[in-house]
Amino acid sequence: MSRLVLVLGDQLTDTVAALAASDKDSDIVVMAEVSDEATYVQHHPKKIAFIFAAMRKFAKRLRDDGWDVRYTQLDDSENAGSIPGELLRRAEETGASEVIATQPGEWRLIEALEDMPLRLTMLPDDRFVSTQEEFDAWAEGRKALRMEYFYRDMRRKTGLLMDGDQPEGGKWNYDAENRKPAPEDIAFSGPMQFTPDDTVEEVLDLVEARFGNSFGQLRPFWFATDQTQARRALTHFITYALPRFGDFQDAMMNDNRFLYHALISPYLNVGLLDPMEVCRAAEEAYKDGHAPLNAVEGFIRQIIGWREYVRRIYFREGPDYPRRNALNHQRKLPEFYWTGETDMNCLSKAITQTAEEAYAHHIQRLMVTGNFALLAGINPHEVHEWYLRVYIDAFEWVEAPNVIGMSQFADDGIIASKPYVSSGAYINRMSDYCKSCRYKVNDKTGPDACPFNLLYWQFLDRHSEKFSGNQRMNQIYANWRRMDEDRKKTILSEAEAFLENLS
Ligand code: FAD
Ligand code: DLZ
Ligand code: SF4
């Protein structure tokens, strides 16, 4: 008897485990655009359009390859509205009683599949460099799970940038050569953009009608929506941006949203690109002398280091992870996260860009929107939902460790050894935002003081019990203690007034 093969919107890879374990001649592929997935958070319309368009094209590709694909569009009258509902409907229609699935990337959906009254085989998602077993064995008995050490094992495992058993160039990590401040201008015209074809246009119309009122702008839409396009976008990045990627990885600019970033996370996360294919292409650029080691190592580390590491932390920590709140932060997310309407130029720019592009790069996410939320004591679950909604690459397995762990320290230091907080000085060093801000980054108090300056000290003071013993924060706390008492009082009261206003 035929079996149903589930392919989700972020499993668009020919060799995904469920397809690899199935028989083209007898099994039936089920793909469905469903309102449960489109609304469990109110996603950015670009994200929904990207996923639906990529799903439709992938279904066609499977059909052309000889698979029997039962595809449900969102507006089909029979649509059951959920993934388990669609599987049950297709089981009834075909007489199948067994489902083969690749493990979804969110606990929510794993649990929903397990609750279905159908026989289920759930296979591990092997589109990653590491396995969960490998990570758990590595983690066993370690006091701290630092990404850097896990990353070295991934270098050894893949042989990427290895010279025998030694790292290429003698060092594992070349970050000291990266992180240059924003340059005057950028010699890269940005990611490759694609004109919507008929399939994409049809999806855009559907999304506009159904989700047009959500946060974010649907059009213009230029993302790649199939493997061929995604590969072209990758080649474009490797050719024109990778050589400078390392240098300006952490820079931010008023008039340049993409700098030398790759914009490949959506393609990697839905399966249009494979992480090893991406890393090999980058390594090749180094070997050919096209890109320097600091850029290529930094780029590869993001993928076989950070990306793999957060995947494993998510599944190791369990379904309660997105609810953690180690610092007991309870403030509501300020309204300006939805409008971009704030006098703080860095936040306004990062949020406006997010609304328009469904994209912001790492440092904007970590040191602008994330930093502010942490300093202001925003409830981390609200922060988590914001990130899950607004970015085109957001799936809980990758988003939650970055937000709950790296950015908000809500997991109590599993991912970050100290909170990622900074005053305005860091933003000023890495960007040109402060030059056109209503606040003055050098003012520490007073009516024009940059709010990051006030909130930074207030955060450290309010959490001094927790962090003053942290070796990496010794110097900062020493500075705070040395500060004149009256000045401290002024900072704290101005910070409180600012926070009250925020509420
Ligand atoms: P580049 O800067 O060009 O980097 C290349 C690739 O490295 C990325 O495509 C991505 O696949 C990988 N990568 C880099 N950093 C990370 C990281 N910390 N974790 C996982 N992969 C990484 N990434 C997501 O894919 N989805 C998310 O929902 C997401 N949420 C984030 C939330 C916060 C608060 C922070 C600080 C980071 C988040 N990231 C997330 C990581 C990172 O910001 C994005 O992967 C990156 O900005 C994607 O853009 P890019 O392709 O231009 O990346
Ligand atoms: C994100 C998303 C959206 C918006 N819509 C669908 C959908 O209609 N059908 C589908 O199969 N997948 C969708 N996805 C991706 C899933 O939400 C994703 O597979 C889970 O969150 C697990 O990562
Ligand atoms: Fe942001 Fe402060 Fe700079 Fe304004 S002065 S852009 S609020 S860091």
| DSSP one-letter string for 65-128 | TT-EEEEE-TT-TT--SSHHHHHHHHHHHH---EEEEEPPSSHHHHHHHHTSSSEEEEE----S
User: What SS3 string covers 134-180?
Assistant: HHHHHHCCCCCCCHHHHHHHHHHHHCCCEECCEEHHHCCCCHHHCCC
Does position 274 have pLDDT exceeding 80, yes or no?
Answer: yes
Token digits of residue 441 = 């980054």
Cα–ligand 1 centroid distance for 24 (angstroms) = 35
Cα–ligand 2 centroid distance for 351 (angstroms) = 24
Which ligand number lies closest to the CA of residue 388?
1
Nearest CA residue ID for atom 3, ligand 3: 434
Nearest CA residue ID for atom 9, ligand 2: 33
Q: What is the mean pLDDT of residues 242-270?
A: 94
Q: Is residue 8 in contact with ligand 2, taking CB distance under 6 Å?
A: yes
* CA neighbor of 445 nearest in space, from 430, 456, 434: 456
Q: Which domains does the chain have, with CATH numbers?
A: 4-123 (3.40.50.620), 132-190+241-317 (1.25.40.80), 336-502 (1.10.579.10)
Nearest CA residue ID for atom 22, ligand 1: 307
For 444, the 3-state DSSP assignment is coil
Question: Measuring from each residue's beta carbon to the nearest atom of ligand 1, which residues come in under 6 Å?
Answer: 261-265, 268-269, 299, 302-303, 306-307, 310, 361-362, 365-366, 370, 387, 391, 393-394, 398-399, 402-403, 406-407
Q: 138 φ, ψ to 5°? A: -65, -40
* CA neighbor of 223 nearest in space, from 196, 187, 259, 245: 196
8 A C-beta contact, residue 282 and residue 275: no
Cα–ligand 2 centroid distance for 101 (angstroms) = 14
CA distances from 63 to 56, 271, 298, 306, 430 (A): 11, 18, 39, 35, 49
Q: Is residue 424 in contact with ligand 3, taking CB distance under 6 Å?
A: yes
Does position 499 have pLDDT exceeding 90, yes or no?
Answer: yes
Among 29-33, 107-111, 247-251, 454-458, the range scoring the smallest mean pLDDT is 247-251
Pocket test for ligand 2, best of 5, 12, 37 (most atoms within 8 A of CB): 37
Q: Which residue has the higher pLDDT, 83 or 246?
A: 83
| pLDDT of amino acid 201 | 98
Q: Is residue 360 in contact with ligand 3, taking CB distance under 6 Å?
A: no
Cα–ligand 1 centroid distance for 268 (angstroms) = 10
Alpha carbons 310 and 322: distance in angstroms, whole number: 13
Alpha carbons 149 and 279: distance in angstroms, whole number: 19
Residue that the structure tokens 């450290």 belong to: 460
8 A C-beta contact, residue 261 and residue 230: no
| pLDDT of amino acid 214 | 96
8 A C-beta contact, residue 61 and residue 93: no
Nearest CA residue ID for atom 51, ligand 1: 263
| pLDDT of amino acid 188 | 87
Strands 166-167 and 162-163: antiparallel
Which ligand number lies closest to the CA of residue 203?
2
Q: In what order do the strands lie in the sheet with 119-123?
A: 68-72, 28-32, 4-6, 98-102, 119-123
Which ligand number lies closest to the CA of residue 350?
3
Q: Is residue 433 in contact with ligand 3, taking CB distance under 6 Å?
A: yes
Atom of ligand 1 nearest to the CA of 191: 52
Alpha carbons 275 and 280: distance in angstroms, whole number: 9
Rounded to two decimals, the ipTM of the complex is 0.99
Atom of ligand 2 nearest to the CA of 9: 12
Which ligand number lies closest to the CA of residue 48?
2
Atom of ligand 3 nearest to the CA of 428: 3
Cα–ligand 3 centroid distance for 450 (angstroms) = 6
Confidence of residue 184 (pLDDT cuts 50, 70, 90): confident
8 A C-beta contact, residue 58 and residue 226: yes
Q: Is this model's pTM higher than 0.90 or not?
A: yes
Q: Is residue 428 in contact with ligand 3, taking CB distance under 6 Å?
A: yes
Burial (CB count <10 Å: 0-12, 13-18, 19+), residue 399 = buried
Which amino acid is it at 253?
Answer: M
22-49 core/surface letters (b: 16 or more CB in 10 A; e: else): beeeebbbbbbbbebbbeebbbbbbbbb
H/E segment holding residue 315: helix 308-317
Which ligand number lies closest to the CA of residue 368?
3
Average pLDDT, the chain: 97
Does position 164 have pLDDT exceeding 90, yes or no?
Answer: yes
Alpha carbons 454 and 448: distance in angstroms, whole number: 11
For 424, the 3-state DSSP assignment is helix
Pocket test for ligand 2, best of 51, 106, 310 (most atoms within 8 A of CB): 51
Does position 212 have pLDDT exceeding 90, yes or no?
Answer: yes
Which amino acid is it at 97?
Answer: S
Segment 118-157, tens digit of pLDDT: 999 999 999 999 999 999 999 999 999 999 999 999 999 9
Pocket test for ligand 3, best of 375, 430, 439 (most atoms within 8 A of CB): 439
Does position 399 have pLDDT exceeding 90, yes or no?
Answer: yes
Burial (CB count <10 Å: 0-12, 13-18, 19+), residue 89 = middle
Cα–ligand 2 centroid distance for 410 (angstroms) = 26
Nearest CA residue ID for atom 20, ligand 1: 307
Which amino acid is it at 159?
Answer: G
Nearest CA residue ID for atom 2, ligand 2: 37
Does position 28 have pLDDT exceeding 80, yes or no?
Answer: yes
Q: Is residue 375 in contact with ligand 3, taking CB distance under 6 Å?
A: no
| pLDDT of amino acid 177 | 87
Atom of ligand 2 nearest to the CA of 33: 8
Pocket test for ligand 3, best of 433, 442, 444, 456 (most atoms within 8 A of CB): 433
Q: Is residue 125 in contact with ligand 2, taking CB distance under 6 Å?
A: no
Atom of ligand 1 nearest to the CA of 261: 3
